[in-house]
Structure 1
Amino acid sequence: MRTTRRTTLRSAAVVVGAATVLAVPVGSAFAYSPAGSSTGPAASVRAYVTTVKLAGGSVAKVYKIGDSHFEADLFAGSTKLDRLVSKGGAASYGQNDGLHVVLQPNGTVTSWTDGVSKPQPRPASEKEIRKESSVRITLTDGRIAELVDGPNGKRVELSTPKGHALATIDLRRPSVQHDGWTYKLVRDGKHVKFVVIDGKGGGNSWVYDFDGKLIEKYTVDPTGVGRPVLVSSGGGTAAAGAAGLGFTALSHQG
């Protein structure tokens, strides 16, 4: 099991700031500086790699000494705090006045301050990914509707009972008609509803949320007597605009 080489930074004023994580690229060409007081063999040459800004405003100057051997000189202004040495695949760790610094075996430097969580890299597959969710429902006309909520918004994919695709609607193309039936998406405040209207049956309609739940149902009185009236489970007129049709008498199912 690998052990972690630890060292304590010499006392110096370090301004505590936000955590920073820096990956230091180790190139193939280096600007060589004269050999300094290194913990490595006297004949080794310290090859300068880069200077990394640490949390709190201090810096680390990183050097490559040899294979699997890196050193980082830590400075607060012109004051040298300490030197971290990573050899043989072991990381080197130091801390002072709430500042934490780690020199990794590959020469990268990580730093953070007390009160700020230690940075944890996330796999690329977990970054900025929002998965789609969907639910399939069987409509009154026998067709299948898949209600999809994804990173590009909400949409409904319509198909026959045997799985043949008919149409897709979304908020850019919110309505489609097929064999006398109308399928449409409407906004109701912050919510989006899916409305199915039976044009052959005189305008009866069904309204679903994107969990696939039937939340409103409207039945037209075949006598056609009376002024159009519409009542929704939300108590408003949004569903009336969604259906886009007049109703003479209405029975409601919640």
Structure 2
Amino acid sequence: MRALRTLRTTLVATGVAAALGASATGAFAATTAQQAPAAHASPQSKAERAALKTVRLADKVSVAKVYKTGKHRYEADVWGRGTKFGTLITEGRPSYGQNNGLHVTLHPNGQVTSWVEQAKPKPQPRPAVKPVLVASATLADGVSQAKVYRITADHYVADISAHGVWLDTLVANGRAAHGQNNGLHLVLQPDGQLSSWVG
């Protein structure tokens, strides 16, 4: 008789776990075999359900409708925006569930507590920095031109061109940038100073 009862308990617990597993759509996920959806409750327990209270949950949207279904036995239907997410059942020990970061506990005395996971703050986008033209110069070969732009402190960019054709861009961000073209040598310092020579 005892072995049969153990097997029946195992089958019920397995069915409950399968019925309440978390889904991709964020259905109410139970974390103990004590919870069962109302569909799995026996007809006798349905008939004995006595409504006790409705508790607003921590997300300020969902509610738990608590029922007494027997001596030391309670059930709580969890609802949000007109949709039932699931049912927690307790008989002598707490029952837990969660849905999209909302955690709900039904205690053995019929009390309901809940809390919401804190979302990680989204990283604030850095404001775009507009380059400011700080210098234009003819370079040591007498033909090439440089336009130096300030991005931030210790961050400068120099566009090098000749006869209207872009040749190179030097970026000095905290350290010097070097370049050369047909014997023309360039150094852009992180303070925006540009030097050139032919060699």
TM-score of the superposed pair, with normalisation by structure 2: 0.40
Which structure has greater helix proportion? 2
TM-score of the superposed pair, with normalisation by structure 1: 0.31
